[in-house]
């Protein structure tokens, strides 16, 4: 295994980039696209730059044939690349309003001539390191958490404009007034094991199924209570011999 060696930053056409083979993460491309349209690409893709030597037998006197070929594999930022691709070429005609002013799309700038490309940090590394970079980039965010108070304070500065943040008003309301715990519910209402807190089953059946239900449970201890009938039917089913 080797460490990744930084080679430089470049604006690379999406057509020259290869998604990481077997990338296991499933990101929210729509949320990323909304952010890119409003904020632009503020973070580069991390791309493995692989140079291939010319094949044996080529004409080394011809620079077109013996120049090293390159392969660019996205280690981190695969869903940002997918969002840029979903935007597509040209003017998307999307704008956003900020402090009373209209601003162009952060991806294409509303330029009809825009071609899909991404700013990339190019690194050289072996295949083992490439896999490890892809894995930790996906996993590190999953292992983190949030300080709910700090998050609520950050969101409070947005003046109810949560566009392109990944948050909605309902998320903020849950932060400010989280749902009560089971203990709080039990103190306010009744204990979850009390019958009044038991789940209620409601479903529609054809008339013949209803008649079968009543026929099969006619000998239960309380035929006037459908709950007793249902428990009686379950007991019969459990006691029935297994085929």
pLDDT at 211: 86
Burial of 37 (C-beta count, 10 Å sphere; 0-12/13-18/19+) = buried
Q: What is the largest CA-CA distance in the chain?
A: 98
Residue-wise pLDDT tens digits, 97-153: 888 889 999 999 999 999 999 999 999 999 999 999 999 999 998 999 989 889 989
Residues of the chain with CATH 3.90.1530.10: 5-144
Lowest mean pLDDT among 60-69, 175-184, 194-203: 60-69
Strand, helix or coil at 187?
A: helix
β 69-76/17-18 pair status: parallel
Fold of 5-144: 3.90.1530
- Residue (of 117, 90, 110, 124) closest to 37 by Cα position: 110
pLDDT band at 241 (very low <50, low <70, confident <90, very high): confident
Whether the pLDDT of residue 185 is over 90: the answer is: no
Burial of 181 (C-beta count, 10 Å sphere; 0-12/13-18/19+) = exposed
Residue-wise pLDDT tens digits, 7-54: 999 999 999 999 999 999 999 999 999 999 999 999 999 999 998 655
pLDDT at 29: 95
pLDDT at 66: 47
Query: Rounded CA gap, 125 and 232, in Å?
Result: 67
Tokens of 146: 């949030």
Sign of the torsion formed by the C-alpha atoms of 127, 129, 132 and 137: negative
Residues in the chain: 243
pLDDT at 17: 97
Cβ(16)–Cβ(72) below 8 Å: yes
pLDDT at 190: 59
């Amino acid at each position: 295994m080797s460490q990744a060696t930084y080679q430089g930053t470049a604006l690379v056409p999406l057509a020259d980039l290869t998604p990481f083979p077997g990338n296991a993460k499933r990101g929210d491309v729509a949320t990323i696209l909304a952010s890119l349209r409003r904020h632009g690409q503020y973070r580069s893709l991390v791309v493995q730059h692989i140079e291939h030597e010319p094949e044996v037998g080529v004409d080394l006197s011809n620079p077109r044939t013996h120049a090293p070929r390159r392969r660019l594999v996205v280690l981190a930022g695969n869903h940002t690349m997918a969002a840029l691709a979903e935007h597509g070429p040209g003017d998307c005609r999307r704008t956003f309003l900020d402090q009373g002013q209209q601003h162009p799309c952060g991806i294409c700038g509303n330029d009809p001539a825009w071609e899909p490309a991404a700013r990339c940090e190019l690194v050289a590394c072996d295949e083992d390191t490439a896999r490890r970079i892809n894995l930790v980039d996906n996993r590190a965010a999953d292992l983190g958490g949030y300080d709910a108070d700090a998050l609520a304070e950050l969101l409070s500065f947005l003046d109810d404009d949560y566009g392109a943040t990944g948050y909605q008003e309902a998320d903020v309301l849950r932060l400010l007034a989280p749902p009560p715990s089971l203990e709080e519910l039990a103190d306010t209402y009744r204990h979850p094991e009390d019958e009044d807190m038991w789940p209620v089953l409601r479903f529609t059946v054809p008339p013949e199924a209803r008649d079968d239900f009543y026929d099969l449970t006619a000998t239960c201890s309380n035929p006037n209570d459908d709950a007793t009938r249902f428990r009686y039917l379950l007991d019969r089913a459990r006691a029935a011999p297994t085929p």
